[in-house]
Amino acid sequence: MPAEQELGRLSQWRDTSGLDIAKARELAERLELRAKAEDEIRTREAYLDLLGVHAGERVLDVGCGSGVVTRAIARRVAPGGAVVGADPSPAFLEIAKQYADARAAGAPIEWRVADCRELPFPDGSFDVVLAATVLAHVPGAESALDEMVRVTRRGGRLAVFDFDGDSFLFSHPDRALTRRIVAAMSDHAAVNPWFARAIPALLATLGFVDIRTRAFMPLESGPGTFYAGLAERAGQVAAQTGAITEAEHARWLDGLKAAEKAGGFVAGRLHLFTWAQKPA
């Protein structure tokens, strides 16, 4: 694939290491908005239940961002456990500390600057290693998965929760144009839009056992939600990449706003959660 057509070239998440505090705060607020939605809360608690995170465990949250999942884990591993939130962005980690100080209760949280493709931890350091909505944006995500495997202890668990790039739904009257926009968003705003589909097979080749996958479809209703905003972003990406014309974008955006105003607007994205055990 030519460089100009590289997947994910418009991803805002593919390299966050150099974010300034203002941009990091903007992106963190977006993550926190998503985290507050009822379906997101239910989904997060459900996949942590499936993973069996419990008191006394040491857990690594890979690509923790604003620390939404890190805080949820901290509540589960207390007493006696600990959680490490790792992210390549020092700015994100400063913001994550603020959110944790204000809202989190539970086990201690350690925040570490770390590239998921070169984790600064010894082999077998963690009982549980999790990456949530991270690997779809990481160039060389297979290396990140290898590192996650390395730092998981024998008999420990590893999990990936990530979106499927082509499975984004939202209310809109123009089906054909919306399909083009969703495809453009998948190709240009995610580095690995289908990576979640590959995780079960990859873990099998890495020798993991008891590999299981569950689908989740968090949905939101009404304007002003995370996924309504993501739909607008999808239209912008499609126009920017030439998948649609500016005139089509304007017409499509009018249709999106009309659908929101009419009531009953719904939007969401399919996510796959795959978890497995490292042989003892």
DSSP result, 160-171: EEEEEEEEEEE-
Predicted confidence at residue 8, as pLDDT, reads 85
Q: How many CB atoms lie within 10 A of CB 242?
A: 9
Contact 36, 107 (CB under 8 A): no
Q: What is the pLDDT of residues 25-45, one digit of tens each?
A: 999 999 999 999 999 999 999
Predicted confidence at residue 104, as pLDDT, reads 60
Question: In the chain, where do the E strands start and end?
Answer: 58-62, 82-87, 109-113, 126-132, 152-170, 209-216, 219-221, 266-277
Q: How many CB atoms lie within 10 A of CB 50?
A: 15
Burial class (CB in 10 A: 0-12, 13-18, 19+), 102: exposed
Name the residue with tokens 């207390």.
Answer: 78
Q: Which residues make Cβ contacts (< 8 Å) with residue 77, sequence separation at least 6?
A: 53, 54, 55, 56, 57, 58, 59, 83, 106, 107
| Tokens, residue 14 | 């593919």
Instruction: Report if residue 59 sits inside a domain.
Output: yes
Contact 259, 172 (CB under 8 A): yes
Q: Which residues make Cβ contacts (< 8 Å) with residue 157, sequence separation at least 6?
A: 51, 52, 127, 128, 129, 275, 276, 277, 278
Contact 260, 223 (CB under 8 A): yes
| Tokens, residue 44 | 């997060």
Amino acid at 52: G
From first to last of the 280 residues of the chain, give the pLDDT tens digit: 333 456 888 888 888 899 999 999 999 999 999 999 999 999 999 999 999 999 999 999 999 999 999 999 999 999 999 999 999 999 999 999 999 986 666 889 999 999 999 999 999 999 999 999 999 999 999 999 999 999 999 999 999 999 999 999 999 999 999 999 999 999 999 999 999 999 999 999 999 999 999 999 999 999 999 999 999 999 999 999 999 999 999 999 999 999 999 999 999 999 999 999 999 9
User: What is the C-alpha to C-alpha distance for residues 261 and 210, in angstroms, rounded to an integer?
Assistant: 46
Domain residues for 96?
3-164+190-219+271-277
Predicted confidence at residue 12, as pLDDT, reads 87
Predicted confidence at residue 134, as pLDDT, reads 97
Instruction: Report if residue 36 sits inside a domain.
Output: yes
Instruction: Report if residue 22 sits inside a domain.
Output: yes
> What domain count does the chain have?
1
Instruction: Report if residue 137 sits inside a domain.
Output: yes
Q: What is the pLDDT of residues 181-215, one digit of tens each?
A: 999 999 999 999 999 999 999 999 999 999 999 99
CATH code of the domain in which 50 resides: 3.40.50.150
Query: In terms of Cα–Cα distance, which of 66, 2, 58, 59 is closest to 34?
Result: 66
Instruction: Report if residue 235 sits inside a domain.
Output: no
Query: Rounded to two decimals, what is the model's pTM?
Result: 0.94
